[in-house]
Amino acid sequence: MSSLASMIKLSALKQKTRVLSDSIVSNINLCRTLAISVLVLCLVCLIFLDSSNRSSSKFFSYLHPRLAPSNPYSSPNPNRYPGSSDSPTNISHLVFGLVTAVVTWKPRKPYIDAWWQPNVTRGYLFLDKPLSEEFLPWPSTSPPYRISDDTSKLERESRHVAPIMVRMVHSILETFREGDQGVRWYVMGFDDSVFFVENWVDVLAKYDHTKYYYIGDYSESVLSNLFFSFDQGFGGGGIALSYPLAAAMVKDLKGCIRRYPFVRSADTIIQFCVDEFGVPLTVEKGIHQIDLVGDISGYLSAHPQSPLLSLHHLDFVHPIFPSMDRFQSTNHLMEAAKIDQSRLLQQTICYLRPQNWSFSVSWGYSVHIYEQIHPRSMLKRPLETFKPWGKNAKPPKFMFNTRWPCETPSVFFFESGGKTSGNQIVTNYVRSASPAHPPCQWKGNNSTDYIKKIQVFSSATKRKEVSVKQSR
């Protein structure tokens, strides 16, 4: 019996071993099958991913259009965009979207007339309501006009705290919807934005228009940035959106407006909409909101060495040429721009050491002479001839360093200019009364009072710009 029991146990053990062995083999086969399936799936995914330059973005965009990981350094498929050739950017690649109102158009029309080039510049003027007979026929010298969409329903649905801002933001969609061919950049502004178009072309040509870019600049006043945002481009000075970014934004621009009903600034809403794509502001120092009041000659006379792109709020400051009114001043500056826009306002500092004089030249605008030798680090700071936008602003008032306004030089303003026979450009500057500030002990031993006119000679070759500004 004992032997029989042992045989039964041995047989049972062999059966269990056989079952276990069969189970292991089965599991191994299953693992092999799963491994092969995973490899096949990976190969299919790789083939699918390789078939699209932006598959990851497309995958996320199917989940939600705002989840696509787009930023200035992403690489949208350049063949998708109408202006995506490799040719250099020119004026035909820019479209300007300008927001105005019937009540402001007539008094501000001269600002746009100063820079708009009929049949050359492309863009649209968006009015808040249909024009009356007094505005018709529409002059061919002005931008083509459009009546803005009725956004009242969107304003009600979103319960927006500042309904007027909805139309301003919505103008991006309306400008894009015009469907212009070959567009690389949309430049948005207002009826009192003065743009220097040739410089816009040169500056935007530095950037890859097939990527996502949001280009602008801050306000000059600290309080304006504090109240709104230190990360936004201020729209009066102009903001530039690359075609791919604009195309992505307009897909859900109304939804974006609904998401920010509590924001009181159109510029901030635009920044928030851009933020949803992970795109930061790229700063260009030649864009000027001019959130300043009073005499801005000190500010313009110390312009950084960046191409002048825009001026705004000229209705709120003194005429930039003291012997002219505001519109005359704007047109006079444009006369200098016609000679050489690439150099306009950019500051150059030089010295006449035998006389102990320092010169600060703001090309096409002004020349300052100081009767002492002052370092460049001092002269590059603007004379504080102006005041901040906010009446009760406390220091720090400005987004830049300034000099005490009593450091008054001899001041000369642009009069005329043109090309010479020797492949040079000459600009002429005539003496003006110095700004009225308390006298300081900055007079030297060699007076400049006898100088009535200054000539500045420069190369007729367009000034070349330095490398692309980095985003902040």
pLDDT of 432 strictly over 70:
yes
Dihedral angle sign, alpha carbons of residues 260, 266, 269, 274: positive
pLDDT of residue 83: 57
CB count within 10 Å of CB 434 equals 12
- The share of the chain scoring above pLDDT 90, in percent, equals 72
Q: Find the radius of gyration of the CA atoms of the chain.
A: 32
**49-70 residue pLDDT tens:** 344 333 333 333 333 333 333 4
d(Cα 302, Cα 84) in Å, to the nearest integer? 37
The listed range with the strongest mean pLDDT (29-38, 206-215, 413-422) is 206-215
Task: Place 184 in a pLDDT band, splitting at 50, 70 and 90.
Answer: very high
pLDDT of 205 strictly over 60:
yes
- What is the residue type of 64? H
pLDDT of residue 406: 73
pLDDT of 3 strictly over 80:
no
3-state SS of the chain is CHHHHHHHHHHHHHHHHHHHHHHHHHHHHHHHHHHHHHHHHHHHHHHHHHCCCCHHHHHHHHHCHHHCCCCCCCCCCHHHCCCCCCCCCCHHHEEEEEECCHHHHHHHHHHHHHHCCCCCCCEEEEECCCCCHHHCCCCCCCCCEEECCCCHHHHHHHCCCCHHHHHHHHHHHHHHHCCCCCCCEEEEEECCCEECHHHHHHHHCCCCCCCCCEEECCCCEHHHHHHCCCCCCCCCCCEEEEHHHHHHHHCCHHHHHHHCCCCCCHHHHHHHHHHCCCCCEEECCCCCCCCEEECCHHHHCCECCCCCCEECCHHHECCCCCCCCHHHHHHHHHHHHHHHHHHCCEEEEEEEHHHCEEEEEECCCEEEEECCCCCHHHHCCCECCEEECCCCCCCCCECCCCECCCCCCEEEEEEEEEECCCCEEEEEEEEECCCCCCCCCCCCCCCCCCCCEEEEEEECCCCCCCCCCCEC
pLDDT of residue 82: 58
The burial class, CB within 10 Å (0-12 / 13-18 / 19+), for 444 is middle
- Per-residue pLDDT, averaged over 332-361, amounts to 97
pLDDT of residue 242: 99
Lowest mean pLDDT among 54-63, 185-194, 416-425: 54-63
d(Cα 350, Cα 48) in Å, to the nearest integer? 61
Task: Place 393 in a pLDDT band, splitting at 50, 70 and 90.
Answer: confident
Contacts of 423 (CB under 8 A, 6+ apart): 459, 460, 461
Q: Position of tokens 């960046």?
A: 306
The burial class, CB within 10 Å (0-12 / 13-18 / 19+), for 218 is buried
d(Cα 59, Cα 366) in Å, to the nearest integer? 55
- Per-residue pLDDT, averaged over 355-371, amounts to 96
**441-462 residue pLDDT tens:** 666 778 899 999 999 999 888 7
CA 354 to chain centre: 44
d(Cα 239, Cα 175) in Å, to the nearest integer? 14
* Mean pLDDT of all residues belonging to the chain: 85
Length of the chain: 472
- The answer to whether residues 339 and 418 touch, using CB atoms and an 8 Å cutoff, is yes
The listed range with the strongest mean pLDDT (14-18, 25-29, 43-47, 173-177) is 173-177
Task: Place 37 in a pLDDT band, splitting at 50, 70 and 90.
Answer: low
- What is the residue type of 354? P
Contacts of 25 (CB under 8 A, 6+ apart): none
pLDDT of 24 strictly over 60:
no
Task: Place 394 in a pLDDT band, splitting at 50, 70 and 90.
Answer: confident
User: Quick one: tokens of 324?
Assistant: 């002219």
- Per-residue pLDDT, averaged over 287-294, amounts to 98
Q: Look at the pTM and tell me if it is higher than 0.85.
A: no
- The share of the chain scoring above pLDDT 70, in percent, equals 78
- The answer to whether residues 72 and 282 touch, using CB atoms and an 8 Å cutoff, is yes
User: Quick one: tokens of 119?
Assistant: 């049949």
Class of domain 91-288: alpha beta
Which of 331, 310, 309 is closest to 321 using CA atoms? 331
Longest dimension (CA), the chain: 138
Residues of the chain with CATH 3.90.550.50: 91-288
Which of 179, 180, 148 is closest to 165 using CA atoms? 148
Q: Rounded to the nearest 5°, which phi and psi values hold at 303?
A: -70, 135
- The answer to whether residues 110 and 330 touch, using CB atoms and an 8 Å cutoff, is yes
The burial class, CB within 10 Å (0-12 / 13-18 / 19+), for 50 is exposed
Which of 59, 53, 69, 88 is closest to 212 using CA atoms? 69
d(Cα 93, Cα 242) in Å, to the nearest integer? 10
- Per-residue pLDDT, averaged over 126-141, amounts to 95
pLDDT of residue 446: 84
**308-334 residue pLDDT tens:** 999 999 999 999 999 999 999 999 999
- The answer to whether residues 178 and 439 touch, using CB atoms and an 8 Å cutoff, is no
Q: Rounded to the nearest 5°, which phi and psi values hold at 327?
A: -70, -40
pLDDT of 116 strictly over 70:
yes
